[in-house]
Chain A
Amino acid sequence: MEEVDVEPVVTNISGIRPGKRMGFAWGPGDILVYETQNKASGPTGSGCAFIHVVRKDEDIYSPILRKLFNESHHIFVGLQTIKDDLPSKSKKPQFVSISRNYRSVIRACMEELQQAAGELLTKYIHHVSILLAIELIWNLCEVLFIDAAPAGSLLLHLLDWVRLHKSDVDEKAKGVLQSDSPAEHRDYWDVVLSYVLQGRLEDTRKMLMKQAMLQPAAKSMYKLMDSLLSKMPFYNPGGTQTLTEFDVKWRNWHEEVDRYLKDNSFASNQHLEVICKILLGDEDVLLEHKELLSTWYYFLITRLLYCHPTVKPTELHYYAQSSMMMFLDSGVPEPLDSILLAAFEFDIHQVIKDCSIALNNWWFVAHLTDLLDHCKLLQSHNLHFGSNLREFLLLEYASGLFTHHSLWQCAVDYFDHCPEFGRVYLELQIERVPLDTERKALKVLRICEERQMSEQVRSICKIMAMRAVRNNRLGSALSWSIRAKDAAFATLISERFLQDYCAKGTFSDLDLIDNLGSTMLLSDRLTFLGKYREFHKLYGEKCFSDAAKLLLSLMTAKIAPQSFWMTLLTDALPLLEQKEVIFSAEQTYELMYCLEDWTFLFHSFNTNQTQLALARNLASAIVKEGTMQT
């Protein structure tokens, strides 16, 4: 694919004076611009102090298109799971069915847009026309590239393509049939001819019957036409007939029609004569009905139907080009014409290129290219810098989705299926998802964890921990920093918990602290917090001797920060003053050493009460231990 040779889009910003220098800042999905000047120039007074938010793409904010994005996401993921090692024969039907699923999503969107018609119609008419074009192109690509029907079936597929997209004839027919006298309706012949042009010969015959009944005199002429129409052979790909046999049969029928035209069988009825000429593929007559054909590509299919029903895929481009020239005359082809022509020419890269220029979002090109790539229809364009075309387009599309507050979740799967840059794009994008709530943070976190994106996991937890600390939610901060395995921060928060305890005498977030388990090993201070809380629990449950043992070990094993020892010694006081002896003599000695150390370190001598309690306890313990020994 060549580079895109188009002039850059110019967006005018009202409120900024022409020629004035602008400052700007990139944001998610938009860019901020403002008027500014050289640093050197002096004050200019107020004036243009506006900041303008320039948006790139509004499409993803349309609720109906959002459904398109959501639905196609599931199809996309399904497509990626089709195994590469399956034989291509068994894959083709799968690819065709996936292609149809994509199209039916587009159709569903259009239906919904129509239901939304009325007040919303004017707003969405632009979307409808784009969707119609997308579906038309996609359908043709499906017929030509994915289904890749051979000669014979090819024309049948193309006919279906026309009938599907040019369904206004059915509307018209309905109007005719519902009138009092259908055969005299002013649209009657338009309907008949439209049927013929689309090769809907059964419908044509039914319609002609109505006219025949009105004109008993011309009964035989109508009967003749009816028999010609009924005899026209159509290729049956499932049947036993070979293409050559069909061709012979078709030629015989063609000659028969030609004979009746030449012997003026229909000369007395201009309408029937026109039908007869159409059946013979008379190009001049066809071109006289441009109105009914409406476009060159419908003209092309009619022409093929009545002149070259066994057209081969490789011959299509010739008929397509000539049909376009004949039909448009001197008119200029529109982008849609060029895209369809490129498709008829089997120039896939040109189709993709033209579509990405003409369409206003990446949805279509990304999904179609991905599908064609799975069908192994794209030559690989692996280059030193970029990745291949498929990945390039998918990355663009997914990056667009990421700016949306909920669609970003779909984008994750697209990045997952871009082998070269998908992961690093995801890393860059996902860490920018605003973590508005804990729930959203958990959602983002889960996505990162599933992909072993450890740095992003750490960062998200850290952000949440910092936010919680700033808002004084210590429990939440602690659990986030444990998740982030951030020892320094866990220490800091444990410290806060202990300060809080010292100030209030109670712990908050007991659930969390009680259930730390092995996570408390993350930091010394956290371990202490957990153990210290355990002490309180034991004490509360009146397991005094266990509590005493734990308390002592917190000091002797240096788990407790020394600054906290006085608090611990004070906690020991009620244990010391119980009637029953809890601290043994040896334990009491150790407590005394601790008190001494602390007194020495902090030059504090206001410890009389503790000293007294310790001495008393020592006495009781010695007495008790002495008694027990004897």
Chain B
Amino acid sequence: MFVARSIAADHKDLIHDVSYDFHGRRMATCSSDQSVKVWDKSENGEWHCTASWKTHSGSVWRVTWAHPEFGQVLASCSFDRTAAVWEEIVGESNDKQRGLSHWIKRTTLVDSRTSVTDVKFAPKHMGLMLATCSADGVVRIYEAPDVMNLSQWSLQHEISCKLSCSCISWNPSSSRAHPPMFAVGSDDSNVTYGGKVQIYEYNENTRKYSKAETLMTVTDAVHDIAFAPNLGRSFHVLAIATKDVRIFKLVPLRRESTTTGPTKLEVQIVAQFDNHNSQVWRVSWNITSTLLASSGDDGCVRLWKANYMDNWKCTGILKGDGSPLTGSSGQPSAMSTVVGSSIQTSQNALNGMSAGRYFFPPLDPPRAGTRCGHLLPPPSLIEHCDAEPVTQPQQHALLPRHNSRVLLSLPEAEEQSF
């Protein structure tokens, strides 16, 4: 892995959150400077700030995008005890030319009496809904019944979790077998208060969320929590950032038809890593949940990957080396720094030399003058199984020559100009 470019975020204070939109073409940043910035990726991969505005009167903890089915919508939450919903307005054409966009506040959600610590949109199949959690231990679920009128949000549920809440995550499963579910984590550090992760599930009959489970084994402060994409499985996978990284499997048990309570969950721990050796602050899954990333007070972002036998391993570490940036948009200096999938380049890092050189001793000694003389194509690719083994070097004999003419054109080559 390598740093492809660095973007001068230009926030006047700490950045607390960076969030990609659904398609990965935009991102939003938020900061203690009370502002949110929106960035758009250009054709050449450069990021440009297209909007920057003051959103709150306190540090902005989190910023998050709604699904594009609902348009260009952001939610933010802040120390100022509010959460807010923002919508991009398609402005005048000269704004677009200048690379600017307009965001207007659609609503301020003022129900919390303390700092709002997290805000997350619900999975899109539930409609335009969002959940906030706050330091006073309350989870609030809001809904915009009319997606064309985002100034109307109604508080649908208020769930008291009794413990100061730090993070919330929706279960993304859209399976009919799974009622809406979220997990909330508490950063209360008093271990005697018991489990710091609670799972709530929606009950069709009572039309209320009720607690399905408390993860009793997680007694230390929890800073982040993330459900993995479901992959069509019957169970759920939850990653937790506490004093270590933990991955849990939540298996819904068959519900008896007579009971109306929430689904019972069997909780299994899949993995637990203390490699950070410190508090862990963030956990997050990639799109297909093949990789989990975590960051801790050891100054590292660690990447975790399961092999096909479900063994989890740390496969990559990102850490600051303190060296100054050489430019705001650096490119890899040579191919030797360009390395592949995380697990495969360890030799690289260990030996400090290029993967190619390490992996591959020269097959033939290169001749003077042409460094690649030994790479000349062989006379033929077809083994002469039935011929005398002594063959004359016949140029191009029998070889189904693959030249550029044979190569098919790229499927979307013309798309770029479109």
Please indicate which of the listed interface residues A27, A30, A159, A387 has the most CB atoms of chain B within 10 Å of its own CB: A27
Q: How far is the CA of A559 from the CA of B265 in the complex (A)?
A: 50
- B369 smallest CB distance to A (angstroms): 11
* 16 A-B pairs with C-beta separation under 8 A: A13-B321, A22-B301, A26-B293, A28-B23, A28-B287, A34-B15, A41-B14, A43-B14, A107-B377, A129-B356, A132-B360, A132-B375, A202-B390, A234-B390, A392-B308, A399-B290
In the complex, are the beta carbons of A110 and B299 less than 8 A apart?
A: no
For the complex, is B406 an interface residue (Cβ under 8 Å from A)?
yes
Query: Which residue of chain A lies nearest to B303 when distances are taken between CB atoms in the complex?
Result: A8
Q: How far is the CA of A493 from the CA of B374 in the complex (A)?
A: 66
Min CB gap A162→B, angstroms: 11
Beyond A12-B323, A25-B27, A66-B410: 10 further Cβ-contacts under 8 Å? A8-B313, A9-B342, A11-B317, A19-B299, A57-B341, A67-B407, A156-B389, A238-B385, A358-B355, A360-B341
In the docked arrangement, what's the CA distance between A123 and B331, Å? Answer: 13
A155 to chain B, nearest CB (A): 9
Contacts of A114 in B (CB 8 A): 372, 375-376
Separation of A466 and B71 alpha carbons in the complex (Å): 6
Binary A-proximity of B43-62 (CB < 8 A = 1, otherwise 0):
00001000000000001010
How distant is the Cα of A332 from the Cα of B381 in the complex, in angstroms? 31
Contacts of A199 in B (CB 8 A): 389-390
Chain B residues near A492 (CB-CB < 8 A): 148
Set of chain A residues within 8 Å of B386, measured between Cβ atoms:
236-238
Interfacial residues of chain A within 431-449, with CB under 8 A of chain B in the complex: 431-435, 437, 439-440
The smallest beta-carbon distance between B415 and chain A, in angstroms, is 7
* A-B CB proximity, top 3 nearest: A16-B320, A360-B340, A108-B402
Complex CA–CA separation, A494 to B24 (angstroms) = 32
Whether B155 is near chain A, meaning CB under 8 Å from some CB there, is: no
The reply to whether the CB of B177 lies closer than 8 angstroms to some CB of chain A is: no
**Residues A53 and B4 in contact, CB atoms below 8 Å apart:** yes
Q: How far is the CA of A58 from the CA of B290 in the complex (A)?
A: 19
Q: Is A421 an interface residue (CB 8 A)?
A: yes
* Residue among A53, A59, A336, A462 facing the most chain B CB atoms (10 A cut-off): A53
Question: How far, in angstroms, from A50 to B133 measured CA to CA in the complex?
Answer: 28
Determine the distance from Cα of A50 to Cα of B371 in the docked complex, in whole angstroms: 41
Q: Which residues of A contact B348 (CB under 8 A)?
A: 9
Is B344 an interface residue, CB under 8 A from the partner?
Answer: yes
Please give, as numbers and ranges, the residues of chain B lying within 8 Å of A161 by CB-CB distance: 383
Once the chains bind, are B307 and A24 in contact (CB under 8 Å)? Answer: no
Given contact pairs A110-B375, A336-B360, A51 touches B302 in the complex (Cβ within 8 A): no
Size of the chain B interface, CB-CB below 8 angstroms:
152
**Docked-complex contact B4 and A399, CB < 8 angstroms:** no
In the complex, chain A residues whose CB is within 8 Å of the CB of B320? 12-20, 22, 35
CA distance A104 to B10 in the complex (A): 50
- Contact of A263 with B by CB under 8 A: no
Residue among A4, A20, A110, A159 making CB contact with B313, cutoff 8 Å: A4
Q: Is A7 an interface residue (CB 8 A)?
A: yes
Give Cα A434–Cα B20 distance, bound, in whole angstroms.
13
| Cα A201 to Cα B392 with chains together (Å) | 11
Q: Residues 403-418 of chain B: 1 if any A CB is under 8 Å from the residue's CB, otherwise 0?
A: 1101110111101101
Q: How far apart sit A472 and B67, CA to CA, in the bound complex (Å)?
A: 20
Stretch at the interface among B104-112, B191-199, B209-217, B277-285: B277-285
In the complex, chain B residues 315-350 whose Cβ is within 8 Å of any chain A Cβ: 315-326, 328, 332, 334-336, 338-350
Tell me, yes or no, whether B32 is within 8 Å of chain A by CB. Answer: yes
Give the residues in chain A near B318, CB-CB below 8 Å.
10-11, 13, 22, 24, 31, 33, 54
Closest CB of chain A to B27's CB: distance in Å? Answer: 7
B297 at the interface (CB under 8 A from A): yes
For B124, what are the chain A residues with a Cβ–Cβ distance below 8 Å?
459
When chains A and B are docked, how far (Å) is the Cα of A48 from the Cα of B321?
Answer: 13
The answer to whether B378 and A70 have CB atoms under 8 Å apart is no
Alpha-carbon distance A114/B375, docked complex (angstroms): 8
Distance in Å from the Cβ of B259 to the closest Cβ of chain A? 29
Q: A15, A160, A201, A381: which contacts B308 (Cβ < 8 A)?
A: A381
Q: Given A26-B20, A107-B381, A129-B360 in contact, is the A203-B390 Cβ separation under 8 Å?
A: yes
Residues of B close to A241: CB separation below 8 A = none
A58, B68: Cβ atoms under 8 Å?
no
* Also in contact, A9 and B316, with CB within 8 A (given A17-B322, A59-B340): yes
Asked whether, in the complex, the Cβ of B315 is within 8 Å of the Cβ of A9, the reply is yes
A89 contacts B by Cβ under 8 Å = no
Given A8-B302, A12-B320, does the pair A466, B345 have CB atoms closer than 8 Å?
no
For window 210-244 of A, CB contacts with B under 8 Å fall at 234, 236-238
- Interface membership of A325, Cβ < 8 A: no
Q: A465-496, CB under 8 A of B: which get 1 and which 0?
A: 01100111000000000000000000010000
Question: Once the chains bind, are A34 and B321 in contact (CB under 8 Å)?
Answer: no
* A406 adjacent to B402 (CB under 8 Å): no
**Which residues of chain A come closer than 8 Å to B14, judged between CB atoms?**
36-37, 41, 43-44
* Residues B3 and A21 in contact, CB atoms below 8 Å apart: no
Report the minimal beta-carbon distance from A362 to chain B, rounded to whole angstroms: 6
Nearest-CB residue, chain B, relative to A26: B286
Query: Given the interface contacts A54-B1, A357-B343, does A334 sit within 8 Å of B148 by beta carbon?
Result: no
B321: chain A residues at CB < 8 Å are: 12-14, 16, 18
Question: B207 on the interface (CB 8 Å rule)?
Answer: no
Question: A359 to B319, Cβ gap below 8 A?
Answer: no
A385 adjacent to B339 (CB under 8 Å): no
Judge whether A39 is part of the interface by a CB distance below 8 angstroms.
Answer: yes
Surface stretch bound by B, among A164-172, A313-321, A597-605: A164-172
User: Closest chain A residue to B61 by CB distance?
Assistant: A39
CA distance A462 to B201 in the complex (A): 28
Contact across chains for B335 and A126 when beta carbons are under 8 A apart: yes
Smallest distance from the beta carbon of B166 to chain A beta carbons, Å? Answer: 9
- B93 CB to closest chain A CB, in angstroms? 11
User: How far in angstroms is the closest Cβ of chain B from A550?
Assistant: 30
State in angstroms the CA–CA spacing of A295 and B362 once bound together. Answer: 10
Interface string of A511-537 (1 = CB under 8 A from B): 000000000000000000000000000
Give chain A residues whose Cβ lies under 8 Å from the Cβ of B126.
none
How far in angstroms is the closest Cβ of chain B from A241? Answer: 13
Enumerate chain A residues within 8 angstroms of B402, measured Cβ to Cβ.
71, 104-105, 107-108, 111
Within A155-197, the residues touching B (CB, 8 Å) are 156-157, 159-161, 163-168, 170-171
A583 to B192, CA, bound (A): 84
Asked whether B174 is an interface residue with its Cβ less than 8 Å from the other chain, the reply is yes
Q: Which of A267-275, A278-286, A422-430, A561-569 contacts B (4 or more CB under 8 A)?
A: A422-430
Tell whether, in the assembled complex, residue B317 and residue A8 are in contact, meaning their CB atoms are under 8 Å apart: yes
Q: Are A43 and B32 in contact (CB under 8 A)?
A: yes
B9 contacts the other chain (Cβ, under 8 Å)? yes
Chain B CB within 8 A of A259 CB: no
Query: Do A49 and B9 form a contact, CB below 8 Å, given A22-B301, A108-B403?
Result: yes
Smallest CB–CB gap between A40 and chain B, Å? 10
User: Residues of A contacting B347 with CB < 8 Å?
Assistant: 6, 335, 357-358
A157 to B61, CA, bound (A): 65
Of the candidates B295, B322, B343, B374, the one whose C-beta lies within 8 Å of that of A22 is: B295
CB distance from B336 to the nearest CB of A (A): 7
Chain A residue contacts of B61, Cβ below 8 A = 39
Question: Are A126 and B344 neighbours in the complex by a CB distance under 8 Å?
Answer: no
B356-394 vs A, Cβ < 8 Å mask (1 yes, 0 no): 111111111101000111111111111111101111110
B288 within 8 A of A: yes
| B342, chain A: closest CB distance, angstroms | 6
Given contacts A25-B284, A160-B389, contact A168 B7 (CB under 8 A): no
- Chain A residue nearest to B409 (CB atoms) is A70
Contacting residues, chain A, for B381 (C-beta < 8 A): 100, 103-104, 107, 164
Q: B14 CB to closest chain A CB, in angstroms?
A: 6
Determine if B299 and A51 form an interchain contact, defined as CB atoms under 8 angstroms apart.
Answer: no
CB of B29 within 8 A of chain A? yes
List the B side residues contacting A372 at CB < 8 Å: none
Chain A residues within 8 Å of B293, by CB:
24, 26, 31
The reply on A294 being an interface residue by CB < 8 A is yes
How far is it, in angstroms, between the C-alpha of A33 and the C-alpha of B9 when the chains are bound?
A: 12
